[in-house]
């Protein structure tokens, strides 16, 4: 019997690596990340990764509130 879980939202950080792959990570779920050549495939994969991370997690802690991303130049 499948358990029905409450729908949750997560912020996803997306970057592009030097080889052109999109890389997604979920700050609220340490170790939850994936990559793909297209954004559509990336979003499907990160959804699956989130599901897997939630299955493995014993906590029901709400994610931190996403504020934004800033760039800073140093050096």
Closest C-alpha to 46, from 33, 59, 37: 33
Q: How far apart are the first and last CA of the chain?
A: 56
pLDDT of res. 69 = 85
pLDDT of residue 5: 65
Residue in 64, 25, 56, 59 with CA at minimum distance from that of residue 42: 25
CA distance 63 to 75: 33
- What integer pLDDT is reported at residue 60 of this predicted model? 65
Structural domains of the chain sorted by starting position, each given as residue range(s) with its CATH number in brackets: 13-56 (3.30.160.250)
Q: Cβ(45)–Cβ(34) under 8 Å? A: yes
Would you give per-residue pLDDT tens digits along the chain (75 residues)? 666 667 888 999 999 999 999 999 999 898 999 999 999 999 999 999 999 998 887 666 666 788 888 889 998
């Amino acid at each position: 019997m499948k358990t029905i879980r409450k729908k949750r939202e997560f912020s996803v950080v997306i970057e592009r690596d030097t080889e052109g792959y999109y890389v997604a990570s979920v700050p609220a779920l340490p170790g939850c990340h994936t990559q793909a050549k297209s954004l559509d495939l990336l979003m499907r994969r990160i959804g699956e990764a989130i599901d897997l991370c939630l299955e493995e997690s014993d906590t029901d802690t709400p994610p931190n509130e996403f504020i934004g991303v800033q760039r800073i130049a140093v050096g």
